[in-house]
Amino acid sequence: MTLPEYIASRFDMLAFQAVQHASMVAQCLLVAAAVGVGLGILVHRDERATALATGATSVLFTIPSLAMLGLLIAPLGLGVAPSVTAIVLYALLPVLRNTIVGLNGVDPALVEAARGIGMSRSRVLLRVQLPLAWPVILTGLRVAAQLAMGIGAIAAFVSGPGLGDQIFSGLARIGAANALNATLVGTLGIVLMALLFDALFVLIGKLTTSRGIRSHA
Amino acid sequence: MSAVGTPAARTGGGPAAAPLGAGWRTLLTPAGVLLAAVATVAYTQAADLDSTEARSLNLPHIAAKTWEHVGLTAVSTLLVLAIAVPLGVLVSRRWMRWSTPAVLAVANIGQSAPPVGVIVLLAIAVGIGFWPAVVALVLYGMLPALRNTMVGLREVDPALVEAARGIGMSAWRVLVRVELPLAVPVILAGVRTTVVHNVGVAGLAAFINGGGLGELVVSGVNTSRVATLVVGSVLIALLALLVDWIAGVVTAALRPKGL
Amino acid sequence: MPETTTAHPQTLAALAAEDGGTAGVPIELIGVSKRFGSADPVVDDLTMTVPAGEIVVLLGPSGCGKTTTMRMINRLIEPTSGRILIGGLDARAQQPDQLRRHIGYVIQQAGLFPHMTVAGNIAQVPLMLGWDRRRIARRVDELLELVGLDPAEYRDRYPRRLSGGQQQRVGVARALAADPPVLLMDEPFGALDPITRENLQEELLRLQGELSKTIVFVTHDVDEALRLGDRIAILGAGSRIVQFGTPEEILAEPADPSVEQFVGGGSSMKLLKLTRVRDVALDDAVRARPGDDVADLRRRLHEAARDWAVVLDEEERPLRWVGREDLAGGSGPVGVLPSAAGSRIDTVISGGSTLQEAVEALLNADREVVPVVGRHGRYVGAVTLATVRQAIQEVRQRRQPARHVRADGAGTAVPAASGGVPDTAALAGAAEAGAADEADAR
């Protein structure tokens, strides 16, 4: 069976797994964005809190995905829970770090000016700091999305959802008829979705970044 | 601290982008890691294990798997260094500059391929065992080192290259005396990413009989033995932290003074 | 030096070895053009000669091709056509890297290698020339002294720990490492603050006084060009030479309105800064000795139609002014006259002082005259406001104004076309001495 035939014969299931994969990644990113940006806002003023938060997330980040999943199975069991938790934890570091860097990268003179015309702290954050830091934060989300896609593949090993299932069913049938097709579909499908997500983020960046600070108009 | 996503740091993509918390982690990390490793191994000896668990969690077996894991990581990292840095230098030469965007695009796309997919594909293409796993690790680990070599060389201030040419250095001498030393921090950051990556990806080698601590995790999941699974996971995690620390220390030591 | 000395050196390296490397050599650009792609040429058929041992400034707006012109001399850019001769040798016939090791090169912000110490930076060219360790170490210390940095303190520092001015000093030291006959400087002081810049310009002139290199200096700063250049080439688009001449010529007689505009207004003030006292016709006061008879002096003043005389000691050093009113009714030696307030001379200027400094001294003095002294403080003449006005007018009228004679006598002395200035001969001696006195000119 050729690759197109393989895809055609299982199109419904593959489409379902692809959507599942994408939706898992998207939801994890939303959680990571909320937690990462929120945490970043909380700690970015305080040097020690910043060091603690980035230190802790980078330790998490250093732990290989297989080990992380293994550790999460113990309390959470198999399935969606450990997969989603692992992805969120990995996605946290790029989002958090870029939020802090982005916020601290805003010209202090601008913050000063905003305070000077009578904006409250929260208004300065909302109207000045976050919009200016947004491109950097978005880049962090992009990196996080790429990571999440790849880690999503291993999730199938702990019975998680997504296209990883194709890879592991290929692995299980090495030597058999459709092993290569299944693995290829899984791997290339994830690459393709990663590229789509990346393009999506570029688009979001174009649409949501103030025209005044876009690097190339 | 640098943002994830700036050219140099994006390759780092995480822990290797900057020597994080160089102060408080310097000796705490290896001490903590070793302590945790000893505790984990001691647990396997003291706990009441069934025969399946005992088969995986006896001392010689754990030592053998750890050694295999280190071997996979070390061999693949050395190969990556031997291939990626010269290749990065080559495509950064002026007469090869045209290839930079293409190489970076390939590297970026390659990076988004899930490592487990790459490993399984190699097993199908080449067979199972240690060496196919090493090939997969090299392929996957190449990208950060290659990209950082290119980025590091590209970011050397052109005025300095100009000055070096201006005082009569040959192209080769400019590369060895000026460009490479100045690119070293970025290149090393890439190598650090590679080696930490490789510790993780080496865990996946277990799927294709490549050995390593991943075997404990895989057999733990397959036989529903949580103890085996957790011990394997903990040891991989500790190894990754330790390797990251060592790479960080080496990076700091090799960084040219004056920068 | 490993190179064997041949009768006719074929490379700049051999030439430098033969000369001991010290003296500057001329640079000739003959019909040089450079075009990138099919666009208009950046440098279009440029022909000019940089005389040996002179500082020639390429001055022009950004984008006029002055940097490209300079970089063709050390072949960082290859000319599309034309010939470049350095010391009479074709630059293209030599291996570029070898060539560059004998052409000092200084760029903006110094371009020091941040991963090497100060000594490491300076040692690069000697290393490539295969000098031994001891000789390099000696040379490094020598150069650091030369550019005014204490070797013990700065040798092992990294560039990061130097100020901008110090970095540029090291940059100059690095360029001078192999004692090249030619120095190319590409806006070297452009990124420095005005005070540091002025200090380094002064230092460069001092160094050039000692070394007499041939220096091509690129800048877009008119004042810098006027200050440093023995000659200035004002370049227009395509490196077309709009005017090539001494600073005085350019100020006094701009080739066209564009130059006039570029050089800017206040050119009289600029001329004051540029013209040295030794180059102008001095006034001469009636000279007197403390032992001279008052009545006799009164008669001499009357004959010379002057109101005052300068009293000199045995060493010819000016002591005080005496006016007709001081002498009126007195008798006996001049030395015993009661000294009137303000007649004591405590402000003198030297031949090396600029006219601007002379004017300043005049404004601060109690008399409308300031004595000029030469070697050992000997009186050689006097400057009044009339002298200054006359001098500026003459510079403007002269087609070929007198070049000031270099302190070391090595510069090209252009014959003084105007001639006939009575004190020129006396000042030639004063000029030599003047250089040493410049520091305490005021």
Q: Which of A80-94, A165-179, C296-310 has the highest mean pLDDT?
A: A80-94
pLDDT for C250-262, tens place per residue?
Answer: 887 888 887 877 7
Of B20, B113, B221, the CB nearest to A157: B221
Interface membership of B50 toward C (CB under 8 Å) = no
Query: Averaged over C406-426, what is the pLDDT?
Result: 36
C76/B166 Cβ within 8 A: yes
Instruction: Give the strand pairing for C231-235 and C349-350.
Output: unpaired
Interface test with B, best of C124, C168, C183 (most B CBs within 10 A): C124
Interface test with A, best of B4, B137, B246 (most A CBs within 10 A): B4
pLDDT of residue C42: 87
Q: Nearest CA of chain A to the CA of B143: how many Å? A: 14
Beta bridge partners of C217: C57, C185
Q: Is the Cβ pair B258, C97 closer than 8 Å?
A: no
pLDDT of residue C414: 35
pLDDT of A213 above 80: no
Residues in Cβ contact with C232 at an 8 Å cutoff, skipping those fewer than 6 apart: C56, C57, C59, C225, C226, C243, C244, C245, C246, C247, C250
pLDDT band at C438 (very low <50, low <70, confident <90, very high): very low
Is the CB of C77 inside 8 Å of chain B's CB atoms?
Answer: no
Four-CA torsion B183, B189, B190, B191, nearest 10 degrees: 100
Sign (positive/negative) of CA torsion A28, A29, A30, A32? positive
Q: With respect to residue B14, please indicate whether it lies within any of the assigned structural domains.
A: no
Tokens linked to A71: 């550790």
Give chain C's domains with CATH numbers: 12-102+178-265 (3.40.50.300), 278-440 (3.10.580.10)
Question: Where is average pLDDT lowest: A150-159, A164-173, B143-152, C356-365?
Answer: C356-365
Q: Are strands C286-288 and C308-312 parallel, antiparallel or unpaired?
A: parallel
**Cβ pair A154:B217 closer than 8 A:** no
Query: Do the chains contact at B237 and A101, CB–CB below 8 Å?
Result: no
Report the length, in residues, of chain B: 259
Pull the structure tokens for residue C179. 């004692």
Alpha carbons C18 and A2: distance in angstroms, whole number: 78
Band (A84; pLDDT cuts 50, 70, 90): very high
Residues 6+ apart with CB under 8 A from C260: C254, C267
- Cα distance between residue C171 and residue C144, in whole Å: 10
The pLDDT value recorded for residue B23 is 54
**Which two three-digit tokens encode residue C75?**
């072949």
- Please name the chains neighbouring B, where neighbouring means 3+ C-beta pairs under 8 angstroms: A, C
Whole-angstrom distance, CA of residue C155 vs CA of residue C13: 27
pLDDT in tens, B121-174: 888 888 888 888 899 889 888 888 998 999 999 999 999 999 999 999 999 999
Tens digit of each residue's pLDDT (9 = 90 or more) over C177-201: 988 999 999 999 988 888 889 889 9
Q: Which two tokens stand for residue B250?
A: 């080496």
SS (H, E, C) C274-324: HCEHHHCCCECCEEECCCCEHHHHHHHHHHHCCCEEEEECCCCCEEEEEEH
Report residue C176: phi and psi, to 5°.
-90, 0
Q: Do B259 and C74 touch (CB under 8 A)?
A: no
The confidence band for C238, taking pLDDT boundaries of 50, 70 and 90, is confident
Shortest CA distance from C113: residue in chain B: B160
Q: Search chain B and give the residue with CA nearest C122.
A: B167
With respect to residue B16, please indicate whether it lies within any of the assigned structural domains.
Answer: no
How much of chain C, in percent, has pLDDT values that exceed 90? 28
Mean pLDDT of chain B: 84
Can you spell out the DSSP letters for B184-216?
A: HHHHHHHHHHHHHHHHHHHHHGGGGT--STHHH
**B136 is a domain residue:** yes
Please give the backbone phi and psi of residue A76, each rounded to the nearest 5 degrees, phi first: -105, -10
Tell me if there are at least 3 CB pairs under 8 Å linking chains A and C.
no
Residues 6+ apart with CB under 8 A from A62: B14, B15, B196, B237, B240, B241, B244
Residue C219 falls in which region: left (phi positive, over 0), alpha (psi -120 to 50) or beta: beta
Q: What distance in Å separates the CA atoms of residue C53 and residue A120, rounded to the nearest whole number? A: 66
Buried b (16+ CB within 10 A) or exposed e, A144-159: bbbbbbbbbbbbbbbb
Mean local confidence (pLDDT), B111-117: 86
Q: Is the pLDDT of residue C378 over 90?
A: no
Cross-strand partners of C350: C373
Query: Residue C297 pLDDT > 50, yes or no?
Result: yes
**Residue C52, CA distances (Å) to C23, C49, C55, C212, C216 in order:** 8, 9, 9, 8, 11
CB atoms within 10 A of CB C61: 12
Question: Please, are residues A167 and A153 in contact by the beta-carbon 8 Å criterion?
Answer: yes
pLDDT digits (tens, 9 = 90+) for C49-76: 999 999 999 998 888 888 899 999 999 8
Q: How far apart, in Å, are the Cα atoms of A184 and each of A123, A167, A171, C126?
A: 50, 7, 11, 59
Q: Which residues contact A212 (CB under 8 A, 6 or more apart)?
A: none
Q: What is the pLDDT of residue A121?
A: 85
Q: Which residue among C105, C108, C158 places its CB closest to the CB of B166?
A: C105
C115 and B163 in contact by Cβ < 8 A? Answer: no
pLDDT bucket at B24, cuts 50 / 70 / 90:
low
Confidence bin at A176 (pLDDT 50/70/90): confident
pTM, two decimals, is: 0.72
- The pLDDT > 70 percentage for chain A reads 98
Q: Tell me if A62 and B207 make a contact (CB, 8 A cut-off).
A: no
Among A211-215, B212-216, B220-224, name the most confident range: B212-216
Q: Which of B259, B238, B94 is nearest to B165 (CA)?
A: B94
Interface residue B23 vs chain C (CB under 8 A): no
Contact residues on chain B for C175, CB-CB shorter than 8 A: 167
**CA C264 – CA C146 distance, rounded (Å):** 35
Contacts of C100 in chain B (CB under 8 A): 165-168
Find chain B residues with C-beta within 8 A of C99's C-beta.
168
CB nearest B116 (choices: A51, A94, A167)? A167
Question: CB–CB of B124 and A153 under 8 A?
Answer: no
Query: What does residue C72 show for φ and ψ, rounded to 5 degrees?
Result: -75, -25
pLDDT at residue C439 above 60? no
Cα distances from A116 to residues A45, A106, A120, in angstroms, run 19, 16, 10
Assigned domain for B6 exists: no
Instruction: Residue C115: list chain B partners with CB under 8 A.
Output: 181-182, 256-259
Residues of C in contact with B159 (CB under 8 A): 107-109, 111
pLDDT in tens, C264-281: 666 677 777 777 888 788
Q: Residue C10 — very low, low, confident or very high, per pLDDT cuts 50/70/90?
A: confident
Number of structural domains found in chain B: 1
Yes or no, beta carbons of B233 and A170 under 8 Å apart: no
Give yes or no for a contact between B101 and B40, defined as CB atoms under 8 angstroms apart.
Answer: no
Looking at residue C97, its amino acid is D
Nearest CA in chain C to B169: C97
Within 8 A of A55 by CB-CB distance, chain B residues are 20-21, 24-25
Question: What's the burial of B221, exposed, middle or buried (CB within 10 Å: 0-12/13-18/19+)?
Answer: buried
pLDDT value of residue C339: 63
For residue A91, list chain B residues with Cβ-Cβ distance below 8 A: none
Listed range (B36-45, C28-37, C387-396) with the worst mean pLDDT: C387-396
The pLDDT value given to residue C85: 93
| Closest approach of C199 to chain B, Cα-based (Å) | 23
Which pLDDT belongs to residue B30? 85
Which has more confidence, C223 or C442?
A: C223
Residue C207 amino acid letter: L
Residue in A with minimal Cα distance to B23: A51
Q: Which amino acid is at B142?
A: M
Distances (CA, A) of C283 to B132, C81, C286, C287, C355: 97, 54, 10, 12, 14
- What's the pLDDT band for C381 if we cut at 50, 70, 90? confident
Which of A105-119, A192-206, B32-46, C310-324 has maximum average pLDDT?
Answer: A192-206
Q: Tokens in use for B26?
A: 């310097």
Q: What is the pLDDT of residue A99?
A: 94
With beta carbons under 8 A apart, name residues in chain B contacting A63.
Answer: 236-237, 240-241
Of B160, B167, B258, the CB nearest to C158: B258
Q: Write the residue in B2, B24, B203 that is nearest to A67 by C-beta.
A: B203
Please tell me which chains touch C, using 3 or more CB pairs under 8 Å as the contact test.
B
Residue A19 has pLDDT above 90, yes or no: yes
Residue C442 has pLDDT above 60, yes or no: no
What would the mean pLDDT of C238-258 be, rounded to a whole number?
A: 85
B240–A67: do the CB atoms touch at under 8 Å?
yes
pLDDT tens string C101-118 = 899 999 888 889 998 999
* 3-class DSSP state of C29: strand
> Tell me, what's the pLDDT at A118?
81
Residues facing residue C57 across a β-bridge: C217, C232
Q: What are the extents of the domains in chain A?
A: 3-105+137-209
Chain B nearest CA to C59, separation (Å) = 21
Name the residue with higher pLDDT: B56 or A169: A169
pLDDT of residue C49: 93
pLDDT exceeds 80 at position C243: yes
At residue B239, the pLDDT reads 93
Element (H, E) at A177: none
Range of the domain at B230: 22-254
Q: Is residue B4 part of a domain?
A: no
Find out whether C76 and B166 touch, Cβ atoms under 8 Å: yes
- Decide if B160 is inside a domain: yes
C56 touches C230 (CB < 8 A): yes
Contact criterion met (CB below 8 Å) for A182 and A169 = yes
Residue B107 predicted with pLDDT over 90: no
- Quick one: pLDDT at residue A188? 92
Question: Tokens 């495509």 identify what position?
Answer: B91
pLDDT band at C403, cuts 50/70/90?
very low
Q: How far is CA C104 from the centre of its chain?
A: 19
CATH number for A3-105+137-209: choose from 1.10.3720.10, 2.60.120.460, 3.30.300.30, 1.10.275.10.
1.10.3720.10
Distance from CA of B8 to the nearest CA of C (A): 19
Tell me what pLDDT residue A215 has: 60
What pLDDT shows up at residue C294?
A: 83
Q: How confident is the model at residue C420 (pLDDT cuts 50, 70, 90)?
A: very low
Q: What CATH number should be reported for the domain holding residue B155? A: 1.10.3720.10
